[in-house]
Structure 1
Amino acid sequence: MLRTGAVQVQCTSCATVKEPPARSRGALKLYNVGAPSERIAIDVAGPFPESESGNKYFMGVMNYFTKWPEVFAIPNQETSTVADKLVHEVFYGFGAPLEIHSDQGRNFESQIFLLLYNKVMGAHKTRTTSYHPQSDGMVERFNQTLERYLAKVVEKQQGNWDRHI
């Protein structure tokens, strides 16, 4: 395809090879949060080298209203471990949120978690789009920042990374 000023020349071989025009995307949904603990985001990062305490992962929880992060070192990312930490550290400390947002990890989509969200806590569960972690950007960015911090702080002795969070 050749453009000269306002004149455009069409080439059939170019047109068959050229990619189709980009499809329009769906409208973005804005989440307006009006109070602390109304909506939280949760994610698990790792595995990291096993610490002296036996931890290999950390779980990040962020409040959408205050942007306050909470981080917990955990030994594995099994549903029972994540649910226990979430209930005892987050829900008992800050109260149960109205809505919980996470990625589509198996630990967040299991029957235990769905029962915990819907029946026990009465919270609504939302999740990111498949293969699109940007839709959980706030907690993903926090995880990235924390991972960079840990890489600088525990450069030599990696067995105590969980003490620095």
Structure 2
Amino acid sequence: MFTKEAANVAQILKSIFFQFGPPKILQSDNGREFVAHVIYDLKKTWTDLIIINGRPRHPQSQGLVERGNAVVQQLLGKWLDSNRTADWPAGLGL
């Protein structure tokens, strides 16, 4: 991912959704890149997609997301080690 701008995040999510199918729920924190209109425009293509933003100043609501991130980070770390590279976007197929 080159930037955390909403348009870039939305484009990467689209490429993942087209490749693997969309999730039922897209849960994120309240970062600007996740509350922008381009993210909510994803629902135009995937009408069943539910977008949930965490509660402001309440990090406990992000526990499930953070645990999922930890799993991805661990698997990606193993991939980076076994492929002897630091090119983590390649490990995610981006």
TM-score, scaled to structure 2: 0.66
Aligned to 2:22: 96
Q: Using a 3 Å threshold, how does the CA distance of structure 1 residues 98 and 143 change in structure 2: closer, same or farther? A: closer
Which runs of 5 or more structure 1 residues have no equivalent in the other structure?
1-73
Detail structure 1 runs of 4+ shifted over 4 Å in the superposition. Answer: none
Aligned to 2:55: 129
C-alpha contact 1:134 1:140 (8 A) present in aligned 2 = no
Quote the Cα distance in structure 1 between the aligned partners of 2:86 and 2:14.
25
Q: Using a 3 Å threshold, how does the CA distance of structure 1 residues 126 and 160 change in structure 2: closer, same or farther? A: same
Higher relative contact order (CA 8 A, sep 6+): 2
Aligned to 1:86: 13
Aligned length: 83
Which runs of 5 or more structure 2 residues have no equivalent in the other structure?
none
Query: Going by fraction, where is strand more abundant, 1 or 2?
Result: 1
User: Rg: which structure is higher?
Assistant: 1
Deviation at 1:108, TM superposition (A): 0.8
Aligned to 1:108: 34
Aligned to 1:77: 4
> Residue by residue, what CA displacement relative to the aligned partner does 1:100-140 show, whole Å, maximum 9, x if unpaired?
211111111101111222x2211221111112222121231
Give RMSD over aligned pairs: 2.7
Q: Percent identity?
A: 29
Quote the Cα distance in structure 1 between the aligned partners of 2:91 and 2:23.
27
C-alpha contact 1:133 1:140 (8 A) present in aligned 2 = no
Query: Going by fraction, where is helix more abundant, 1 or 2?
Result: 2
Alignment of 1:34-49 (within 5 A): none
Deviation at 1:142, TM superposition (A): 4.1
Aligned to 1:54: none
